[in-house]
């Protein structure tokens, strides 16, 4: 029988692997809650970014970037916490939609429907 070797995993960028996936009862609860929230349509790129955030590919990001991180990444190539990051991860919405959402308001992210 061949000897199995194990290799230690490298630490995720920022030291914490983000996992924003929901399952079971919590997933059902959030789906139900989302039905009552304002919908924000996601382009295919937004969906891909959301999947990367939720599965830890974009660790240490826990969501789309806010203004401070966006500005820091664009001008300094670092997040505001000092970690290197070179590509902004943002959610583009129309001006009308942005104007209709209050800061801190919960919204439902949904794939665009053709």
pLDDT, average across residues 88-94: 94
In this predicted structure, what is the pLDDT of residue 1? 61
pLDDT band at 91 (very low <50, low <70, confident <90, very high): very high
- For the chain, state the CA radius of gyration: 17
Q: What pLDDT, in 10s, does the model give residues 13-56?
A: 999 999 999 999 999 999 999 999 999 999 999 999 999 999 99
Q: What pLDDT, in 10s, does the model give residues 93-110?
A: 999 999 999 989 999 999
pLDDT at 73 over 70: yes
In this predicted structure, what is the pLDDT of residue 114? 65
Domains of the chain, first to last:
42-111 (3.10.400.10)
In this predicted structure, what is the pLDDT of residue 100? 96
Within 1-114, strands assigned E span 39-42, 108-111
């Amino acid at each position: 029988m061949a000897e199995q070797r194990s290799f230690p995993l490298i630490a995720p960028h920022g030291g914490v692997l983000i996992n924003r996936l929901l399952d079971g009862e919590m997933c059902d609860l959030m789906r139900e809650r989302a039905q009552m929230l304002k919908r924000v349509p996601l382009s295919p790129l937004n969906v891909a970014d959301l999947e990367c955030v939720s599965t830890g590919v974009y660790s240490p990001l826990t969501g789309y970037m806010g203004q401070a991180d966006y500005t820091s990444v664009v001008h300094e190539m670092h997040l505001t916490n000092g970690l290197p990051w070179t590509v902004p991860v943002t959610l583009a919405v129309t001006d009308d939609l942005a104007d209709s959402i209050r800061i801190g308001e919960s919204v439902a992210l949904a794939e665009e429907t053709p």
